[in-house]
Amino acid sequence: MFRVFHAEIMKLRKTKIYWLVLLGVLPACLVSSMALLPKISSDGTPIDLDMQEMFYHQGMVLSVFGPALFALITGYVVAREYQERTINQLFSYPTSRTIFLIAKLLVVLSLIVITVALPFVFAIGSTLLIRHTLDIPVLWLGMKMNIMICVLSFGAIPTAAALSMVGKSIMPNAVLGVIVSLFAGISEAKHSMSSILFPWLTPYWPVRDLAQDIAQSGPNPYVIPALTILILTFIISLIFCIVYYNRADVHSGT
């Protein structure tokens, strides 16, 4: 398994996929850095740097742009085998097709982790630079939020993989990404609690929990159904991917 995963990583050398990762990292860093700007309260006293606000902004950006970015990354990792006509060769190796699929999904997970981790590291670094100290409970909240974003974002990845397998192109994922991100942007602007029922927006659940001064606060009542939907989406689309990858005849590779 490790040799297949390593080979999948080797395939990404000198590709533009890292620009896609940066496309998620940079806005998240930029928006969260707004919390670094000096602020003054209504009574004229300066407000201290709020790490929770940084993590919240960072999470907002990732939960809006993440679904599109991660769908595109998945599309690239899966569909390029068809587009560059390497699928014949890939399936001629003495390795189960399921192992190749799992290796590809693990590569996507790794890229999701990098996309989420870099802004988190940026937030910690900039806080340390300005305040020279860290609020450990808030740091833990931020870490928890980022881990949950990674896990919950991965829940919708097999669906994106299935789309690029069937479409043999990155285009279906691009369309999916645009639609999902638009929907995420609108829903999250309204701070809708129920939006997390949509599998691509479930990562908004831990982000919203960090929000301060919004109308509806407290535990999100839609968590259980949202997680159920996401898990079902994950399992069904993963089974579809495995069956499709294993049973599909490989023709011209296009």
d(CA 171, CA 178) in angstroms, rounded, equals 11
27-66 mask for other proteins (x: CB under 8 A)? Answer: ----------------------------------------
The region of 4-12, 37-45, 61-69, 208-216 touching other proteins under the rule CB under 8 A is 4-12
208: CB partners within 8 A, 6+ apart: 188, 191, 193, 196, 214, 220
- Which CB atom, from 13 or from 190, has the smaller least distance to other proteins? 13
- Which CB atom, from 14 or from 190, has the smaller least distance to other proteins? 14
- Which CB atom, from 81 or from 188, has the smaller least distance to other proteins? 81
Fill in the DSSP letter of residue 220. Answer: -
Q: Is the dihedral of CA 20, 24, 29, 34 positive or negative?
A: positive
If we measure between CA atoms, which residue out of 242, 248, 201 comes closest to residue 105?
242
The region of 44-52, 94-102, 194-202, 214-222 touching other proteins under the rule CB under 8 A is 94-102
- Which CB atom, from 12 or from 138, has the smaller least distance to other proteins? 12
Within 179-218, which residues bind other proteins (CB under 8 A)? none
Report how far Cα 169 is from the mean position of its chain's Cα atoms: 20
Going from the C-alpha of 48 to that of each of 38, 132, 137, the distances in angstroms are 8, 13, 16
214-253 mask for other proteins (x: CB under 8 A)? Answer: ---------------------------------x-xxxxx
User: Which amino acid is residue 72, in one-letter code?
Assistant: L
Asked whether the beta carbons of 104 and 14 are under 8 A apart, the reply is: no
Within 61-90, which residues bind other proteins (CB under 8 A)? 80, 84-89
Positions touching other proteins (CB under 8 A) are 3-4, 6-7, 10-11, 13-15, 80, 84-89, 91-96, 247, 249-253
